[in-house]
Amino acid sequence: MKVILLGTAAGGGFPQWNCACAQCTSTAPPRTQDSVAFSADGRTWHLLNASPDIRAQILATPALRAGPGPRETPLRSILLTDAELDHTLGLLMLREAADLTVHAPAAALHALTDHFPARPIIGGYHDWTWLPTTETTLDGLRITSLPISDKQPKYARGSAHPGPWVVAYRIHDPSTGGILVYAPCLRTWPPGFDAFTEGATLVLLDGTFHSGTEFTHATENANPAAQHAMGHLPITTTLATITHRPGGTRWAYTHLNNTNPVVAPTSNEHALVLDAGAELPPDGTEFTL
C-alpha cells in the first residue's frame, strides 16, 4: 500500500492568511490543509478527506494527475472522517469528476445535504455514489472505521442526527500486512482506540495543538474554553500515551494548527516530539506499507 500526505495542516493551512502570530510570520515551511491519498497498486487512488487545497495538492502529486486519456483520472473514492468544512470543501473542487464514491459517517452525509448542500450541488454535475461508512474493501484493501465523537461542525450545530459525526479509519493491505490508521480528529482517546491501532504500521494522529492553552496565548483569546471546544487532544497528552505503547508502530502527527510550535523544525517542541519517537512529516511525504 502506498500512502501520500497531500497536506498536513489544520483548517486554514499554514501560514494562515488572516493570522500574524509568531508561527505564521516565521520562516517555517508552509503546509496545506490535511488530506491523504492511498493506493493498493500505485495506479488507482483513494482520498482520506478532501481539503479546500485539493486541486493544488493533486497537481503537485504526479501519481494523482489526469491521464492517460483526456478525461481519465486515477481517483476512485473519498473517505471522509467527518463533515467539517476543511475536510469537505474539496468535494466541490472535484465536481468535474464523472464517477466518484464518497464514504462518510451517516451524520456527515446528512450535513452535506441538509446543512451544507454539497451533495445536491455536485448532483447537478454528475451522479456520484454516497455511502454511509461501513466495513468495506477498496482494490483489495480492507477498510474499517471507529466512531470517535459526536462533535458537529459549526454549520450543522444543533442537528438532531444521532451520530457518530466523526470516525477514524483503519486500512489494511492483506498482501503486505501493512496497516494505516488515520485519526486527525481526536476529542478524547476513545474507547476501543488502543485495539484499533494495535498492530498498525503507521498511525496518522491528531496533532492540531501542542498544548492545551496555545490557542489562547497565540490569539490572545480571553476564553480558554475556545480551544477545548474545537475537539482536539493536544500532543502533550497523546505523546505520553504513545511513547509507552509496545511494538513497531510508527506514530506521525498531522493536522497541525498554525499556532502549533511544532511546525517550526527549529523549535524545542518539534525536537521533543522527535526525541519521543514520533514523527512530524511535511506535505508530500510518501510511505510504503
Q: What is the pLDDT of residue 77?
A: 97
What count of other Cβ atoms lies within 10 Å of the Cβ of residue 139? 16
- Whole-model pTM: value is 0.94
Least Cα distance to 196 among 171, 176, 173 occurs for 171
What would the grid cell of residue 86 be? 476543511
Q: What is the pLDDT of residue 214?
A: 74
Q: What is the pLDDT of residue 231?
A: 67
Q: What is the pLDDT of residue 94?
A: 96
Q: What is the pLDDT of residue 106?
A: 96
Q: What is the pLDDT of residue 222?
A: 47
Cα 98 from Cα 83, distance rounded (Å)? 22
**What's at 119, amino acid-wise?**
R
DSSP string, the chain: -EEEEEE-B-TT-BS-TT--STTTTS-PPPBPBPEEEEESSSSSEEEES--TTHHHHHHT-GGGS--SSTT--SEEEEE-S---HHHHTHHHHTTT-SS-EEEE-HHHHHHHHHTS-HHHHHHTT---EEEE--SEEETTEEEEEEEEE-PPPGGGTT-------EEEEEEE-TTT--EEEEE---SS--TTHHHHHTT-SEEEEE-S-SSSSHHHHHHT-S-THHHHHT----HHHHHHHHTT--SS-EEEEESB-TT-GGGSTTSHHHHHHHHTT-B-PPTT-EEE-
Q: What is the pLDDT of residue 217?
A: 59
Q: What is the pLDDT of residue 87?
A: 97
Max distance between CA atoms of the chain, in angstroms, equals 55
**Residue range of the domain that includes 29:** 2-288
Q: What is the pLDDT of residue 71?
A: 86
Question: How many domains in the chain?
Answer: 1
CA distances from 264 to 20, 57, 143, 226, 269 (A): 15, 21, 34, 24, 9
Strand order through the sheet with 75-79: 129-132, 101-104, 75-79, 45-48, 35-39, 2-7, 286-288
Q: What is the pLDDT of residue 220?
A: 57
* CATH number for position 237: 3.60.15.10
What would the grid cell of residue 1 be? 500500500
In a structure prediction context, what are the per-residue pLDDT tens digits for the chain, which is 289 residues long?
999 999 999 999 999 999 998 889 999 999 999 999 999 999 999 999 999 999 999 999 999 999 888 889 999 999 999 999 999 999 999 999 989 999 999 999 999 999 999 999 999 999 999 999 999 999 999 999 999 999 999 999 989 898 899 999 999 999 999 999 999 999 999 999 999 999 999 999 999 999 877 766 555 554 554 545 566 899 999 998 888 777 789 999 999 999 999 999 999 999 999 999 999 999 999 999 9
